[in-house]
Structure 1
């Protein structure tokens, strides 16, 4: 069974990612750095299909090891 990917949900926490890539407004992600290490953690089936949310991006920046550990628990 193929999972339907909701591009509006963060691939980590499943909360709204507030992506504005397809809107007239500038997206929040254009004003901050998304770490390559965090991008590498996105499941392959969701890469370039669902954006990371601001909260997960900040949490990863504050403590990458803790973020990864929490991710493995889920």
Structure 2
């Protein structure tokens, strides 16, 4: 698994949900993105409803995804 990200050649923006920190914290997302040659930017969103906020705070997540892929 550690070598797999190095083989990714497609542009790969990485997004993190800040409140989900206990499950997969933003620093872990940065660690995941680091070996990807085309990782691009790392973005994070802080949903207003806690760790599952990305499920109901879709506007914020959609905005982040739009920002990362533009």
TM-score category, normalised to shorter length:
under 0.3
Greater fraction strand:
2
